[in-house]
Amino acid sequence: MKLAVLTSGGDSAGMNAVVRAVVKAGILKGCETWIVREGYEGLVRGNTDAETPSSPLLSTTLDVKINDPTFIQNLRFGDGALLRDGTGDHPSGRTLKGRYIVRVGWDDVRGWFAEGGTLIGTARSQAFRTPEGRLNAAYNLIKEGIDALVVCGGDGSLTGADIFRAEWPSLVQTLRSQDRITDEQVSRHGHLRIVGLVGSIDNDMSMTDLTIGAPTALHRICEAIDNIHSTATSHSRAFVLEVMGRHCGWLSLMGGISSGADFIFIPESPPKADPWEDAMCEIISKHREIGKRKTIVIVAEGAHDVNLKPIRAEYVKDVLTDRLGLDTRVTTLGHIQRGGRPCAWDRILPTLQGVNAVDALLEATPDSPSYMIGIQENRVRRVPLVEAVKMTKAVAEAIKVQDFEKAMSLRDPEFRENLEGFIATSTLEKQPLLPPEKRIRVGIMHVGAPAGGMNAATRAVVRYCKRQGHTPLAISNGFKGLLDDNIHELSWLGVDSWTVRGGSELGTNRVLPDIDLGTVASKFQEHHIQALLIIGGFEAFNALMILEAGRVHYPAFHIPMVHIPATISNNVPMTEFSLGSDTSLNALVDACDSIKQSASASRNRVFVVETQGGMCGYIATMGALAVGASIVYTPEVGINLDTLRDDVKWLKKRYALDEKGKSEGRIVIRNEKASTVYTTEVITKIFKEEGGSLFDSRSASLGHTLQGGVPSPLDRAYGARYALKSMAFIEKHHEQLREKKFKARQAGPDSAAVITLQSAALKWVPVREMVEHADMKNRRGKFAWWGKHKGLVESLAARPQLV
Ligand code: ATP
């Protein structure tokens, strides 16, 4: 199969990772790989000169590896550098002028991962909207012999893709009748295989949970707001931020949650109050009355009121200035949101989706629908492209006819939950919502190592408690603090800026309650703790187990008890995502980008990067996928002499294949506990010794930097979501106990549980049940959903996999 990939519509971070993944997976599966420059416009224009580097199609499928001669023929065609540097003069004398459909090889897409936007160019093509334009596009594809196309773009681009595929047979017939193609070409190109990937920063596509570029855009928004926080507080100012999103409020909503904003406007759910100005001013003036010095309002560019009258940032500013007398400024983030280095997920997801896209093309038949590759329930999924486009359009149509309930129902359930969560944590009520008898004293503690999102989760708990009338009690320094009576009530305003803070505001350590279980129980009684929320990693899980088991002896533990997993190692059983692991992945990506730069500048250097993670290889594996590492060593798989020997052999071969003078740095990621014998130092020395004149080796240990400084937006948002779900759980179980459903305050085993993310759904697992899924000796879950990605890391480095 000859396959081409193009990027179209507005650019987004992660598009380069798509191109890289499609090219690499294509070559690995025996395809000839091409890129189309400037989106559909490039297809319409095609190549004016006939020069096209050619080499035989790979003969094998699925198992092409570095020693295969056809793989070597597909290493590079020399245009990668041209694409990267622009189309101007190039020392090699090669030019891309007049060439829009370009053959690329493995090394041509090298190092593209870390770059924002799209290196192959994108455009909005008027010509492709016309039948003549699409006829030319078909001709140009057939001329180059291309029979499969990956399109990465927004809903417009995917609509175009679907129309193109539907028209294809008639386009081929027309080209034949015009004598532009031969009968042989007609029979070879009767069917166009096409697959869409959603590259769009708005996250506005239905049937996928995340679009490529949206997570990075959210990072840019949060960075901007984090910077604004300090000046807003210093001057006691209000800031109104306009963010992108014509029909989709995802960026505004997630930005609002992740930055702790005061008010947001989104197209799907305009403020219900009419006039909304009164409602907004009431909420913000309450914040100011209790002493809040800063105000942040986020407006999606497509925001409007219930009557569809647009709500503009400038107008919101006038309202805040005139009615509340606030010194208000407007910041329009504009194109800043598009740009910059992709965050970890915008490298991982496009890679997984790009690989899947190639599979989908290979499996396509004339009768199968064209697919859009998306992410649903944390898994890469194929959905019929037409349906996804139709459903996306339905949201815009529902908004147009003011059916906001329908617009919200067409978004995924998480969207609604997030909106409700935002309101619950940003609105101060005049009176607590619950009557006194239903109010609870909730103890909150952090246990284990600090992780991004712990503070954001705590803030959400506190805000929710205050709204309901509960008493949020900070237990500082974990169980040790409890024994020392280090307990105080937290206030709504006191936790205001905790969303953006890394580390643990409460203080955390690894002390477990069995240090003195009896005294722990008496402290629970003394401080009238009626529910407990523990935020932390494996220790926190352990602590909950001990407390639950202690119920036999201590009535004080017959209360609802919850564990929110928060650990950079992501080693808590049964959950796919612990708070802090995303921050950590991003810290690893940042560090490796810098290391790779240094490694490449010095040429021929292999960096062995050591990560934390304890006995769990999650960070190492997902980090390796996110930085394009060549090899990854995990505790689950371990290291032995045979693998090391193969690794050295492979590195030598790979460096020998590099273009002279253009060798790049390579990254090897090693989890700290992958082997007690083959330490990072030993491996580095072996590589250095064996590399000889081909390559050198250095090591870097990321250590505690992986805990990250500022939590990532995802960890902040998930922190809030986990927290609010936990409070609902606590309230439910408290009520059951209060109603004496259990005799003499006997709390059932399901009232001590861990909140887990399983296939994107939040599920409660009683701590007793968790034990069955835990590898207590190695402090990790028995099943690692990410384990298979180690093979993918090595495939994408053309590293033969060991059986
Ligand atoms: P973004 O989300 O950034 O706006 P998009 O893919 O939706 O990205 P559009 O400008 O809508 O951006 O579409 C990109 C290109 O896709 C168009 O310039 C056009 O070439 C093609 N396209 C869009 N809609 C159609 C259509 N109905 N028929 C043919 N081509 C189309």
Whether the Cβ atoms of residue 247 and residue 204 lie closer than 8 Å to each other: yes
Residue ranges of domains in the chain: 2-211+342-376, 215-338, 429-579+711-772, 581-708+788-802
Q: How many CB atoms lie within 10 A of CB 291?
A: 9
Buried b (16+ CB within 10 A) or exposed e, 703-717: eeebbbebbbbbbbb
Whether the Cβ atoms of residue 39 and residue 8 lie closer than 8 Å to each other: yes
Beta bridge partners of 577: none
DSSP three-state, residue 428: coil
Ligand 1 atom nearest to 164, measured from its CA: 29
- The C-alpha angle 350, 354, 357, rounded to 5 degrees, equals 140
Catalytic residue IDs: 202
Residue 157 C-alpha to ligand 1 middle, in angstroms?
Answer: 4
Reference 269, options 304, 297, 218; nearest CA is: 304
Distance separating alpha carbons of residues 499 and 422, to the nearest angstrom: 12
Q: How is 167-224 classified by DSSP, letter by letter? A: HHHHHHHHHHHTTSS-HHHHHHTSS-EEEEEEB-TT---TT-S--BTHHHHHHHHHHH
Percent of the chain with pLDDT over 90: 76
Residue 233 annotated as part of some ligand binding site: no
Nearest CA to ligand 1 atom 14: 9
DSSP three-state, residue 666: strand
Pocket test of ligand 1: the residue of 122, 128, 132 to mutate, having most ligand atoms within 8 Å of its CB, is 128
Ligand 1 atom nearest to 12, measured from its CA: 3
Pocket test of ligand 1: the residue of 44, 122, 124, 395 to mutate, having most ligand atoms within 8 Å of its CB, is 124
Nearest CA to ligand 1 atom 26: 160
pLDDT at residue 7 greater than cutoff 80: yes
Reference 370, options 358, 386, 392; nearest CA is: 386
Ligand 1 atom nearest to 158, measured from its CA: 6
Residue 123 C-alpha to ligand 1 middle, in angstroms?
Answer: 9
Residue 387 annotated as part of some ligand binding site: no
Residue 562 C-alpha to ligand 1 middle, in angstroms?
Answer: 47
pLDDT score, position 620: 97
Q: What is the pLDDT of residues 672-715, one digit of tens each?
A: 999 999 999 999 999 999 999 999 999 999 988 888 789 999 99
Query: Does the 2-211+342-376 domain belong in CATH 3.40.50.450?
Result: yes
Reference 267, options 138, 434, 447, 408; nearest CA is: 408
Residue 463 annotated as part of some ligand binding site: no
Distance separating alpha carbons of residues 40 and 194, to the nearest angstrom: 13
Distance separating alpha carbons of residues 708 and 714, to the nearest angstrom: 13
Asked whether this chain's domains 429-579+711-772 and 581-708+788-802 adopt the same fold, the reply is: yes
Nearest CA to ligand 1 atom 16: 157
Low-confidence winner among 219-223, 327-331, 429-433, 711-715 (lowest mean pLDDT): 429-433
Whether the Cβ atoms of residue 165 and residue 194 lie closer than 8 Å to each other: yes
Q: What is the pLDDT of residues 524-552, one digit of tens each?
A: 999 999 999 999 999 999 999 999 999 99
Residue 189 annotated as part of some ligand binding site: no
Whether the Cβ atoms of residue 540 and residue 569 lie closer than 8 Å to each other: no
Q: How is 227-267 classified by DSSP, letter by letter? A: HHHHHHHHHT-EEEEEE--SS--HHHHHHHHHHT-SEEE-T
Residue 172 C-alpha to ligand 1 middle, in angstroms?
Answer: 23
Ligand 1 atom nearest to 124, measured from its CA: 18
Using CB atoms within 10 Å of the CB of residue 516, give its burial: 0 to 12 exposed, 13 to 18 middle, 19+ buried.
middle
Residues 6+ apart with CB under 8 A from 613: 568, 569, 571, 619, 620, 635, 671, 672, 673
Cis peptide leading into residue 275 (ω within 30°): yes
Residue 250 C-alpha to ligand 1 middle, in angstroms?
Answer: 21
Nearest CA to ligand 1 atom 20: 125
Tell me the residue length of the chain: 803
Pocket test of ligand 1: the residue of 43, 129, 152, 200 to mutate, having most ligand atoms within 8 Å of its CB, is 129
pLDDT score, position 707: 82
Distance separating alpha carbons of residues 87 and 76, to the nearest angstrom: 17
Residue 612 annotated as part of some ligand binding site: yes
Average pLDDT value for residue range 782-797: 90
- What does DSSP say about strands 101-103 and 32-36: parallel, antiparallel, or unpaired? antiparallel
The whole-model pTM stands at 0.93
Residue 101 C-alpha to ligand 1 middle, in angstroms?
Answer: 19
Q: SS3 letters for 348-392?
A: HHHHHHHHHHHHHHHHCCCCCCCEEEEEECCEEEEEEHHHHHHHH
| Confidence bin at 100 (pLDDT 50/70/90) | very high
Q: How is 252-319 classified by DSSP, letter by letter? A: HHHHHHHHT-SEEE-TTS--SSSSHHHHHHHHHHHHHHTT---EEEEEETT-B-TT--B--HHHHHHH
Residue 620, H or E segment: helix 618-627
Reference 507, options 465, 462, 444, 568; nearest CA is: 444
Average pLDDT value for residue range 91-119: 84
Radius of gyration of the chain measured on its C-alpha atoms: 28
Rounding to the nearest 10 degrees, give the CA dihedral for residues 342, 343, 349, 355. 40
- What does DSSP say about strands 193-198 and 148-153: parallel, antiparallel, or unpaired? parallel
Residue 301 annotated as part of some ligand binding site: yes
Distance separating alpha carbons of residues 16 and 486, to the nearest angstrom: 51
Distance separating alpha carbons of residues 479 and 732, to the nearest angstrom: 25
Nearest CA to ligand 1 atom 18: 124
Q: What is the pLDDT of residues 343-354, one digit of tens each?
A: 999 999 999 999
Ligand 1 atom nearest to 10, measured from its CA: 3
Residue 165 C-alpha to ligand 1 middle, in angstroms?
Answer: 15
Relative orientation angle of helices 345-363 and 15-28, to the nearest 10 degrees: 40
Whether the Cβ atoms of residue 453 and residue 565 lie closer than 8 Å to each other: no
Residue 649 backbone phi and psi in degrees, to 5: -60, -45
pLDDT at residue 761 greater than cutoff 90: no
| CATH of segment(s) 581-708+788-802 | 3.40.50.460
Relative orientation angle of helices 713-738 and 214-235, to the nearest 10 degrees: 80
pLDDT score, position 280: 96
pLDDT score, position 96: 76
Ligand 1 atom nearest to 128, measured from its CA: 20
Residue 386 C-alpha to ligand 1 middle, in angstroms?
Answer: 14
- For 215-338, CATH number out of 3.40.50.1860, 3.40.50.460, 2.40.30.10, 3.40.50.970 equals 3.40.50.460
Reference 795, options 613, 669, 591, 632; nearest CA is: 632
- DSSP letter for 112, please: -
Q: What is the pLDDT of residues 58-96, one digit of tens each?
A: 433 334 456 666 777 777 776 777 777 665 555 566 677
Q: What is the pLDDT of residues 29-51, one digit of tens each?
A: 989 999 999 999 999 999 886 55
| CATH of segment(s) 429-579+711-772 | 3.40.50.450
Residue 155 annotated as part of some ligand binding site: yes
pLDDT score, position 741: 59
Distance separating alpha carbons of residues 136 and 140, to the nearest angstrom: 6
Percent of the chain with pLDDT over 70: 94
Q: How many CB atoms lie within 10 A of CB 772?
A: 10
Pocket test of ligand 1: the residue of 8, 206, 301 to mutate, having most ligand atoms within 8 Å of its CB, is 8
Rounding to the nearest 10 degrees, give the CA dihedral for residues 305, 307, 309, 312. 0
pLDDT at residue 53 greater than cutoff 70: no
Q: What is the pLDDT of residues 188-223, one digit of tens each?
A: 999 999 999 999 998 989 889 899 999 999 999 999
Nearest CA to ligand 1 atom 13: 156
Most confidently predicted of 393-397, 637-641, 745-749: 637-641
Amino acid at 351: T
Pocket of ligand 1 (CB under 6 A): 8-10, 40, 124-125, 128-129, 153-157, 159-160, 163, 200
Distance separating alpha carbons of residues 731 and 513, to the nearest angstrom: 24
Residue 246 annotated as part of some ligand binding site: yes
pLDDT at residue 439 greater than cutoff 90: yes
pLDDT at residue 364 greater than cutoff 60: yes
